[in-house]
Structure 1
């Protein structure tokens, strides 16, 4: 994440943020058809599920129909276009993108710099939405002046998932997960000594090794790329310390078990089977662990990301909705109304919140799982009150995370070619956990060279 984005949002009250982020409406010809007969505005909206996914496609089409019924002055043209890093630039240059599109957290800052997204500040303010967002999340979509160029609709921040039953068996307090990596190391060693299970495990394959190493590096105060994503930076002291700690836990403490090749599915299965005490993940891992892999809900616990040497923050991810930079004022208003209706309504409308919660219960899905809200603390509290009668997860097991996560700094994924960077880091983590004599410094130096070659393309 760009440091200026952090500075402009951190510590500001919402009223000041509103005053600082006002901007004049922009103008221009959008890719939609603009105002038609009777003042109707037509916009194209992306992310329509394909015909190979009939259930979700039908649900999406129903929301489109419901929106148009509620907004007869707006016509939506849904298309199947989705975010694809390999085709986006060509589509943007050729004017082939829809007026509204979902993109990951890694993209807004680059798009703002390249002027590929519309300034939505005034529209969000006029629609009564600007003060509804979590300012820590909103900064992902802001420029130096705190103007807003995208609408956050989903977010997560990584924490530490742990097995409360193994904590108890090891003589640890299940309500007090480790707050630092030194504490994590000590707890992992104790779990192994007392229970015979791996105290800690870390994902290493299918790009998850680089992903988790990035999260760990952030927690040690380091970075993966510089601000503009032109250079790799993970051959510095924080990254080396993070990787050395993994090496020492594996080979000195012997608290990470024998297996080293895990992706999210693999690590979820062994964790649910009670063979791993802790691993890094987001709160929504609850569904995978409990409902898909059979972990008793009482055994699930999650705390904030442990820090090392200061309060540095945690890796976040999620998605935002962008609007074409060529959209007219009317098209931007129509786009924001659709985004609110399709993605945010349950957070700001009680009827929508209750309907969604009831549907989740009926489908036997987790309802009320805590996480990183895209809306403000006040609005999130209101939303939680609306759905309280339908919550079916053990909220007390999330308490260590929720007490800290709302205020913990969040740091975006690497801004350029994140997945390629993660792929280059997978073998680094695998080697350290698979070879006791691995040279941490040499591995990182070589990987930096590999990543710089990719960033330079």
Structure 2
């Protein structure tokens, strides 16, 4: 999965690396031929080449470019170091300085579609056959209201509920049936604390993770953080108040959240792996951090879908899509899809690439087969799972509650404008609720909304 540092607005992906193979181009042979016969050679500028300060990844990227051109002699790639940057994108787009193909986060496609800054890829995706292979739930991120497709999702994650199966057993809870609602989360957390003495539930609160997880929880309660165009804060309402009230009651009435309040991703991962926390919100790829980095027994790891409250509202999702310049010719669009497929999706649609990637993962002692939010459809994902089955080294049964639901659970992208600044403004709200039993939740939200609106209005 695509997960840049937490300071980036590109999906607030912290240390997680969900679907990591998606971000690295595959060097396995492509099944593509070159450009259509008679169209002549196509030259395509592609972004996201690592800089010279990152020689290893730059060399790897350049090798993939060379491999692609060898497999597609009618397409010449011109790799450039341009990457998506919220502070420079609009000027680059207006000045015609963007490459033909560029990676952007999930938060961006809808705005780009509205501003006509991306090419309509519907026909070329149909002609290639890739359209039918993509996950229709994830594809909605890249579609307009008519269903036309303007980007190709290449990495995705969705937040779920991570839980300690051992603590569930000690508390007399069924480790194969994690809570499905927030009322059930509250009940399970209280039981875990009473039966084991550990915090039944914990929430991230610092370094923007507090706002990030509050956003996730607000979505699950049926609320939102910004309006559709990102011009106004919308979290000063009933769903957000209900989400915070639940946290308050778990902390101060049930006393099921322990003493620690100031957690970021690293801190909460270490405490969970040490058996001090029963549940917290994160994506499935936390498995690697918890088990390989922090020493949690693999058998103790469990994850379910995001609990909902008052209906099936959905969960926060992040990831990345590939966009194509609106000025691209039909031949250039076709070439772009071949490159995107080869570089980012090949292991999901090409058996040789899948096996090579899995073998490399095993050799590197990395988790292979970690479930997540697939960017390909259910049938293609099942085919891919069959290809890598001999190399899977994670306990798939522990992910089953998540995988049974996550692929179909509604996904909601992060706030479309200044997500990190919004999260920073919301961190103190969550901290106050968990740090003060008399915290005034409506006042905290009203103040934060004013702070956010001032930022959105700049």
| TM-score with structure 2 setting the length | 0.91
User: How does 1:149-168 map onto structure 2 within 5 Å?
Assistant: 149-168=150-169
Any runs of at least 4 consecutive aligned residues in structure 1 with deviations exceeding 3 A, and if so which?
A: none
Aligned with 2:320: secondary structure? strand
**Cα deviation digits, residues 281-317 of structure 1 (max 9, x gap):** 0001111111111111001000011111111111111
1:26 aligns with: none
Aligned with 2:277: secondary structure? coil
**Cα deviation digits, residues 163-195 of structure 1 (max 9, x gap):** 111111111111111111011001111111111
2:14 aligns with: none
Does the Cα contact within 8 Å between 2:368 and 2:391 map onto a contact in 1? Answer: yes
Q: CA deviation at 1:88?
A: 1.0
Distance in structure 2 (CA, Å) of the matches to 1:194 and 1:159: 24
Distance in structure 2 (CA, Å) of the matches to 1:331 and 1:178: 48
Bigger shift: residues 371-380 or 80-89: 80-89
Distance in structure 2 (CA, Å) of the matches to 1:342 and 1:399: 29
Aligned with 1:72: secondary structure? coil
2:229 aligns with: 228
1:428 aligns with: 429
Distance in structure 2 (CA, Å) of the matches to 1:278 and 1:340: 37
2:73 aligned with 1:51 = no
Distance in structure 2 (CA, Å) of the matches to 1:295 and 1:82: 36
Q: CA deviation at 1:333?
A: 1.1
Distance in structure 2 (CA, Å) of the matches to 1:40 and 1:406: 39
1:18 aligns with: none
Q: CA deviation at 1:53?
A: 2.1
User: How does 1:109-124 map onto structure 2 within 5 Å?
Assistant: 109-124=110-125
**Cα deviation digits, residues 107-166 of structure 1 (max 9, x gap):** 000010111111111111111111111111000000111110000000111100001111
Does the Cα contact within 8 Å between 2:69 and 2:75 map onto a contact in 1? Answer: yes
Distance in structure 2 (CA, Å) of the matches to 1:299 and 1:221: 31
Distance in structure 1 (CA, Å) of the matches to 2:447 and 2:79: 46
Distance in structure 1 (CA, Å) of the matches to 2:252 and 2:123: 56
Q: CA deviation at 1:398?
A: 0.3
Q: CA deviation at 1:99?
A: 1.1
Distance in structure 2 (CA, Å) of the matches to 1:408 and 1:53: 37
User: How does 1:188-207 map onto structure 2 within 5 Å?
Assistant: 188-207=189-208
Distance in structure 2 (CA, Å) of the matches to 1:263 and 1:53: 27
Q: CA deviation at 1:219?
A: 0.6
Aligned with 2:104: secondary structure? strand
User: How does 1:76-225 map onto structure 2 within 5 Å?
Assistant: 76-225=77-226
Distance in structure 1 (CA, Å) of the matches to 2:293 and 2:53: 24
2:413 aligned with 1:408 = no
**Cα deviation digits, residues 21-69 of structure 1 (max 9, x gap):** xxxxxxxxxxxxx99x992211111111122222222211111110000
1:7 aligns with: none
User: How does 1:38-77 map onto structure 2 within 5 Å?
Assistant: 39-77=40-78
2:263 aligned with 1:258 = no
2:382 aligned with 1:381 = yes
Gaps of 5+ in 1: 1-33
1:15 aligns with: none
2:391 aligns with: 390
**Cα deviation digits, residues 313-362 of structure 1 (max 9, x gap):** 11111100011111111111111110000001111111111111111111
Distance in structure 1 (CA, Å) of the matches to 2:426 and 2:172: 35
Aligned with 1:42: secondary structure? strand
The change in CA–CA distance for 1:38 and 1:321 in structure 2 (over 3 A counts) is: closer
Distance in structure 1 (CA, Å) of the matches to 2:53 and 2:163: 37
1:356 aligns with: 357
Distance in structure 1 (CA, Å) of the matches to 2:39 and 2:311: 59
2:329 aligns with: 328
Does the Cα contact within 8 Å between 2:39 and 2:331 map onto a contact in 1? Answer: no
Distance in structure 2 (CA, Å) of the matches to 1:258 and 1:88: 43
Distance in structure 2 (CA, Å) of the matches to 1:109 and 1:139: 10
Distance in structure 2 (CA, Å) of the matches to 1:375 and 1:74: 25
Gaps of 5+ in 2: 1-34
Distance in structure 1 (CA, Å) of the matches to 2:143 and 2:456: 24
1:441 aligns with: 442
Distance in structure 1 (CA, Å) of the matches to 2:259 and 2:295: 23
Distance in structure 2 (CA, Å) of the matches to 1:221 and 1:255: 24
Aligned with 2:216: secondary structure? helix
Aligned with 1:421: secondary structure? helix
